Amino acid sequence: MPGLIGKKIGMTRIFDEEGQVVPVTVLEAGPCPVVQVKTAESDGYGAVAIGYGAKKAKRTSKAEMGHAAKAGLDAAPRLIREFEPRQDEAFELGQQLNVDLFEAGQKVRVTGVTKGRGFQGVVKRWGFAGRPGGHGHPMSRTPGSMGPGTDPSRVIKGKKLPGRMGGNRKTIRNVEVVQVDPERNLLFIRGGVPGSRNSYVLITR
């Protein structure tokens, strides 16, 4: 199975058979049509391109419309991503991939773009302890001394400093599928996943 493209709805909680609370992230995954099947003979590598959502006609170029029409789609997908299939899998243009590809208890990998935090200091960005807290220290959240003196007389590359935080592509692995709702195309993933509400995520096995 190549995977699915989904949208993060938000977080909630459900109760398992023993009555324990399970925090879950709700993902609306699929239906994802197969837009293109790439092979080593024609493209130099094997991959499956699947789409998610639908663009408005006035926001779609003729090239995108033609690409979608080859797969038998009425509208161009809003998002297209490529996945590498296994050797024993075969896909056809226009084939619909749904959440029934997953099952409860399965481990998956979720990729998304983390929330952008803007420019942050070292305490929030890297978890620095800060300076002494008592007696009103004038620079309680500064990084402090950082550079060697005589040799090499510069700040070493890679030093943890203030800067832009978040907004990066991040993948979490081995998260559990707690529940699958095929009627509403919903996946319930244990714990949190990268991204804000209504952001796109990729779910793979």
- pTM equals 0.83
Binned at pLDDT 50, 70 and 90, residue 181 comes out as: very high
Instruction: Give the pLDDT confidence score for residue 3 in this predicted structure.
Output: 86
Provide the H-helix boundaries in 117-193: 122-126
What average pLDDT does the chain have?
90
Instruction: Report the candidate in 19, 25, 24 with the shortest Cα–Cα distance to residue 6.
Output: 25
Give the pLDDT mean for 117-140: 90
Confirm if 185 and 99 have CB atoms less than 8 A apart: yes
Look at 87 and 51; give whichever has higher pLDDT.
51
52 pairs with which residues across the strands?
Answer: 79
The distance in angstroms from the start CA to the end CA of the chain is 7
Give dist(CA 185, CA 8) in Å, integer.
12
Sequence spans of domains, the chain: 1-30+99-133+154-205, 31-97
pLDDT at 150 over 70: yes
Instruction: Give the pLDDT confidence score for residue 93 in this predicted structure.
Output: 86
Give the pLDDT mean for 163-190: 94
Instruction: Give the pLDDT confidence score for residue 1 in this predicted structure.
Output: 61
Looking at CATH, the fold of the domain delimited by 31-97 is given as Double Stranded RNA Binding Domain (3.30.160)
- Classify domain 1-30+99-133+154-205 by CATH architecture: Beta Barrel (2.40)
Neighbours of 194 (CB within 10 A): 20
pLDDT at 24 over 90: yes
